[in-house]
Chain A
């Protein structure tokens, strides 16, 4: 019996696609937010810190519910999008990306903040006196020195995005081939008794998780600059 002939691989591709895009968004905005939290003193800093941590604490279905209030057809932002374009983000693959991004973002912000804080400010001061602007200093000094922590944070965020279930099913639903990512597909497969499919997807996710643990450990053990 050839498994591949009738097995639907769309959950795997969809999950990868959704997680990769979420991770790209997280890499840019999470690092930026972490830099602000680590280096700047501004009004509402603690509030921002708490707010960005919240999705890590809240049950994902609760986060998903808030996202519906925000982005649903009658939602605070979603209403305007619908009025303008006649489209709603609900039950699209983009909704899955948003759910994954919001839920996985706090992990990145936490690790990136710690990584940036661990970079000695003297290096940044030295770069300033050598004529480099704050942005140049960030890319030439802070980023390379915080690289390890940032990479670890990104990989963990990717893993979290890949496993996202609760917020995704609230916001994007579970439409086969469209929004049914791997965790949702496993759920459906178990519900409908498709044990082979469930097992295959479970094995794939397990392998990816083990790989993530291996890679993050390797990253944190490589100490090139601390000789």
Chain B
């Protein structure tokens, strides 16, 4: 388990001041530090690895203090047993793959696990190559092997997928998931990509302005963001202002662009709130068909103003009284025969409408 509570102020020459102020814990499994670039994610990894020193606070891994300003503890990076996968992998260009992997090993007997690791990551055949002769995916697996053979207490991954092509990416995702079962240590993964954050994480820590915006499971963070900013970061692009006008049992009525029913998160009548819904939770209804009871919630009508194909899905922009961004699977798009200008009716299902109180 990683426990981190640090403060670090950075002042750059152009008088921009950046404050990193964090306080969170994470269990074993994959914790994703998610946020826009410049939010302090890599700086956090550097602090955990001991490459940067926080101004104050404490960092501990499995109960071992790595840093504690109160007790004057600051273990040097060499002694922290941290496996660090750098964004550009930082494979030593003058050493072969094998030499890179055993670089961190002290004695001969420690190299027993090397062959096993080479096998697991399927890089046995690359031993004698130089890093310049590797593809992006291969380089990353070599860097991962190098970080893991020293049997680290924690694994840090800085944007591991950013420079890889689509196919290699999904393969590595599976490798990492498999790895998590194999090595029982906390894995901290930094990314600015929401899809990666969602698919990789056991826990997501959302960074905003050097602080923690929200911590939770991917489902929580992606469907129940606690602030407008987090909502935007996780791709919840339909965000509206409204006012609570009535409470009916467990539900509330929000009056904004139009009347919306949502589950009551504990608001009072008259409260000003923000409500939002993910584009993929907007359901486009079929024409000329009676609306079933189950989807008859929050019906909105509008017309399509723009269509953006995204491969497996389509992004629709709906104009009207309540402008919405809608993401629907390609098969549904084709079945519905959608085109620009067409009038559509959509349903915003009650459980999918999320209320933010700020």
Q: Which B residues, 29 to 66, have Cβ-Cβ distances below 8 Å to chain A?
A: 46, 49-51
On whether the beta carbons of A123 and B92 are closer than 8 Å, the reply is: yes
Q: Which of A131, A140, A145 contacts B93 (CB 8 A)?
A: A145
Let me know if B86 is at the binding interface, CB within 8 A.
Answer: yes
Let me know if B90 is at the binding interface, CB within 8 A.
Answer: yes
Q: Which of B51, B78, B132, B133 contacts A131 (CB 8 A)?
A: B78
On whether the beta carbons of A130 and B103 are closer than 8 Å, the reply is: yes
Given A122-B86, A225-B132: A131 and B94 interface contact (C-beta under 8 Å): no
Let me know if A133 is at the binding interface, CB within 8 A.
Answer: yes
B side interface size, CB within 8 A:
27
Contacts of B106 in A (CB 8 A): 131
Contacts of A227 in B (CB 8 A): 130, 132-133
Let me know if A45 is at the binding interface, CB within 8 A.
Answer: no
B147 to chain A, nearest CB (A): 8
On whether the beta carbons of B93 and A225 are closer than 8 Å, the reply is: yes
Let me know if B88 is at the binding interface, CB within 8 A.
Answer: yes
Closest to B103 in A: A130
Let me know if A120 is at the binding interface, CB within 8 A.
Answer: yes
Let me know if B84 is at the binding interface, CB within 8 A.
Answer: yes
On whether the beta carbons of B90 and A145 are closer than 8 Å, the reply is: no
Closest to A133 in B: B78
Contacts of A39 in B (CB 8 A): none
A208 to chain B, nearest CB (A): 30
Range, interface on chain A: 20 to 34
A126-142 near B? 1/0 per residue, CB < 8 Å: 11111111000000110
On whether the beta carbons of A123 and B78 are closer than 8 Å, the reply is: no
B55-91 near A? 1/0 per residue, CB < 8 Å: 0000000000000000000001111101110101010
Q: Output the residue of A131, A140, A145 with the most chain B CB within 10 A.
A: A131
Chief secondary structure at chain B's binding surface: loop
Let me know if A125 is at the binding interface, CB within 8 A.
Answer: yes
On whether the beta carbons of B49 and A129 are closer than 8 Å, the reply is: yes
A187 to B106, CA, bound (A): 58
A141 to B50, CA, bound (A): 19
Contacts of A122 in B (CB 8 A): 86, 88, 90
A125 to B147, CA, bound (A): 12
Let me know if B146 is at the binding interface, CB within 8 A.
Answer: yes
Q: Which of A120, A128, A140 contacts B77 (CB 8 A)?
A: A128
Contacts of A140 in B (CB 8 A): 103
A145 to B94, CA, bound (A): 7
Let me know if A191 is at the binding interface, CB within 8 A.
Answer: no
On whether the beta carbons of A129 and B130 are closer than 8 Å, the reply is: no
A140 to B82, CA, bound (A): 20
Contacts of A128 in B (CB 8 A): 50-51, 76-78
On whether the beta carbons of B94 and A225 are closer than 8 Å, the reply is: yes
Contacts of B84 in A (CB 8 A): 125-126, 129
Q: Which A residues, 106 to 161, have Cβ-Cβ distances below 8 Å to chain B?
A: 120, 122-123, 125-133, 140-141, 144-145
Q: Which of B78, B79, B90, B133 contacts A120 (CB 8 A)?
A: B90
Let me know if B104 is at the binding interface, CB within 8 A.
Answer: yes
A78 to chain B, nearest CB (A): 43
Given A128-B77, A131-B78, A226-B132: A144 and B51 interface contact (C-beta under 8 Å): no
The 7 A-B residue pairs whose C-beta atoms are closest, nearest first, are: A130-B104, A225-B93, A227-B132, A126-B90, A122-B90, A128-B77, A129-B84
A: residues with CB less than 8 A from B are 120, 122-123, 125-133, 140-141, 144-145, 224-227
